Amino acid sequence: MPGQAHDLRETAELIEGVSCDMLLADRAFDANWLRENLANSGIVPVIPPKSNRKFPPTFDQHSYKWRHLIENYFQKLKEFKRIALRACKTDQSFSSMIYLAAAIINSR
């Protein structure tokens, strides 16, 4: 997606056909349609509500605390210049670089 587009715009297509127990996301993904879509798929949304909601939905705060591990891992991946700058020309070479960087991170 272009950098100026909000990630929520393409979320429906990304989660279509995905099966998991929970979806951890930040406040930017707090939308009623997304919560309903996840509930219909049997996925528990772990999304904190935006501050401007009149009736904020509840979420599992204990599970949300683990989200920082995912964020930290992405930061470690971005330490590799080719990943951070998206220097790979094809999807296959970019995917290969992710696997290589993940192997290096996990071996540390």
How large a percentage of the chain has pLDDT more than 90?
A: 39
Same domain, 50 and 71: no
Same domain, 51 and 83: no
Same domain, 24 and 70: no
What lies within 8 Å, CB to CB, of 46 at 6+ separation is 22, 23, 24, 25, 59, 60, 63, 64, 67
Question: pLDDT tens, 35-82?
Answer: 999 999 899 999 999 999 899 999 999 999 888 898 999 999 999 988
Q: Which two tokens stand for residue 26?
A: 């930040």
The three-class DSSP label of residue 27 is helix
Q: Which domain holds residue 30?
A: 1-62
Q: What is the pTM of this model?
A: 0.69
Question: pLDDT tens, 1-44?
Answer: 556 667 788 888 888 888 899 999 988 899 999 999 999 989 99
What lies within 8 Å, CB to CB, of 77 at 6+ separation is 83, 98, 101, 102, 105
**Confidence tier at 99 by pLDDT (50, 70, 90):** very high
Provide long-range contacts, Cβ within 8 A and 24+ apart, for 35-38: 37/12
The structural domain count of the chain equals 2
